[in-house]
Amino acid sequence: MTAENLSALALSLRVAVVATLLNAAIGIPLAYVLARRRFRGRGLLDLLVTLPLVLPPTVTGYYLIVLLGRRGWLGGPIYGLTGWSITFTWYAAVVAATIMALPLLVRTARAAIESVDRDLEKAAFTLGRSEWRTALEVTLPLARNGILAGLVLAFARALGEFGATLMLAGNIPGRTTTVPLAIYTSVQTGETGDALVLVAMLTVLSCVVLIAAARLGARAT
Amino acid sequence: MRVPLLVAVLLALVPATAPAEELILSVAVSMKEGTEELGRLFVRSRPGVTLRYNLGSSGELQKQIEAGAPVDVFISAAQRQMDELERKGLILDGTRRVFARNVLTVVKPADSGLDLSKPADLLDPRVRRIVIGNPRTVPAGQYSEESLRTLGLWDRLQGKLVLAENVRQALDYVSRGEVDAGFVYATDAAAGKPRVKEAFRPGEDTYRPIAYPAAVVKDSRRPGLARAFVDLLVAPEGRTVLARLGFQPPP
């Protein structure tokens, strides 16, 4: 494998691992809140989290630029204060991958949490556990396999993210060129041989991930 | 209620009425406006002819033709991509013509306060990011790399370089203010106004002359019509349009 492909693979793994950790931190609480709480704006929150699943990734990428670009709503003030901008950095790839993977985790984890027997939660609550501790000690452990399946799917999605990443992070070899982008460049430049190794690798990895998710999902029920 | 839906679905499946004659032009994206304007001129005197534009970087378009894309005319922003197609026997003999020239320029966002007036100014630490086309596929990037190497700046600017998939993406990065400077063609800088402004032009002796060749692709199903389009590019009407857009005449 070429040095460029190797660096793309290393970067992809790093991006996917960080994005999955962020997904766990953001997605599991989100899934819990969507599954168990009723509040104003719940439908909107659900919609916002799910949108990246159905929108073309380029549209999600466009919104990310509007939000985080050097002149973005959030990116503008950050750039003004620090002179730093997330675009064309590997953090941008992490953000894109995180947003694109989030709906997969939230939807899977939410379904798992919703299927937890409410009587068990009520029992814990009646026995003096706060809602917070009930969630941590009863609900989430019971939904564990579903949540893990969601995390595995999120990892796979993060590893394969292309469109939003290209728009926010660009395609800079050694810096933001992840495996999907490296494949794109290789095919465009006619170096299909280089691409084949990566294509095979991503295919095998995705199969492994899907099997793992299916097993975890089967145990969850 | 079902019937209108069914009709709609069936209608969607019916192909649009096939035009009498269709030409597919693969065009280097920096020549977009030029080809489109000449295309309107071309079809005006040829009723029933439809032109389809396939825009991209010359390197990308070259690879598509090598992979068998059904293209009639290839319009490249550099000789290199045309040379490679010709060497592989994918160009119709005797149809290749150079029809325009261009020059490189460095642009910055219109509201940029940076004083960029010569190449060495790019080393200024306040210039954090510079976009060029990816030299692997984008001729504008290849010319930019050549120029920066001649100027002795290529290695020193590596950490600042952002690569774009084609020259118009490079222009877009500048106009959105995502980068502080970018290498594009003078004609792109004109097309990008008022969101970008020219900072300086690298010396024309620092890179190969920028020439646009056009040719009929070997497998074209309408070589006669395709040849007529290439002829228009070098005809006086074509020259006039291209000159108005800022392209220089071929040597």
* Cβ-Cβ contacts under 8 Å, A69 against chain B: 176-178
Q: Is B137 on the interface with A (CB under 8 A)?
A: yes
Higher pLDDT, B151 or A5: B151
What total of structural domains would you count in chain A? 1
* Cβ-Cβ contacts under 8 Å, A170 against chain B: 162-164
User: Is the Cβ–Cβ distance between A85 and A138 less than 8 Å?
Assistant: no
pTM for the model = 0.84
Domain B104-200 bears CATH identifier 3.40.190.10:
yes
Query: For the segment A167-202, what is each residue's pLDDT rounded down to a tens digit?
Result: 999 988 888 999 999 999 888 877 888 889 899 989
State the residue for tokens 């941590």: A136
CA distance A70 to chain B (A): 5
Q: Would you say how long chain B is, in residues?
A: 251
pLDDT for res B28: 96
Contact B162 A69 (CB under 8 A): no
The CATH number of residue A66's host domain is 1.10.3720.10
For the domain spanning B13-101+211-244, the CATH number is: 3.40.190.10
Mutation site for A-interface testing, chosen from B81, B88, B163, B180 by largest number of A Cβ within 10 Å: B163
pLDDT for res B225: 96
CA proximity to B241, closest of B35, B22, B64: B35
pLDDT for res B1: 45
Q: For chain B, 251 residues long, give each residue's pLDDT as a single digit of tens.
A: 455 566 666 556 655 555 478 999 999 999 999 999 999 999 999 989 999 999 999 999 999 999 889 999 999 999 999 999 999 999 999 999 999 999 999 999 999 989 999 999 999 999 999 999 999 899 999 999 999 999 999 999 999 999 999 999 999 999 999 999 999 999 999 999 999 999 999 999 999 999 999 999 999 999 999 999 999 999 999 999 999 999 999 98
Contact B178 A188 (CB under 8 A): no
Core vs surface per residue B176-203: b (16+ CB within 10 A) or e: bbbbbbbbbbbbbbebbeeebebbbebe
Higher pLDDT, B3 or A157: A157
Decide if B13-101+211-244 and B104-200 have a common fold: yes
- Per-domain boundaries in chain B: 13-101+211-244, 104-200
Contact B178 A87 (CB under 8 A): yes
CA proximity to A37, closest of A110, A99, A107: A110
CA distance A178 to chain B (A): 14
CA distance B146 to chain A (A): 19
* Cβ-Cβ contacts under 8 Å, A188 against chain B: 59-60, 63, 137
User: Is the Cβ–Cβ distance between A92 and A175 less than 8 Å?
Assistant: no
| Interface size between A and B, measured as CB pairs under 8 A | 40
pLDDT for res A101: 97
Question: Residue A154 belongs to what domain range?
Answer: 3-220
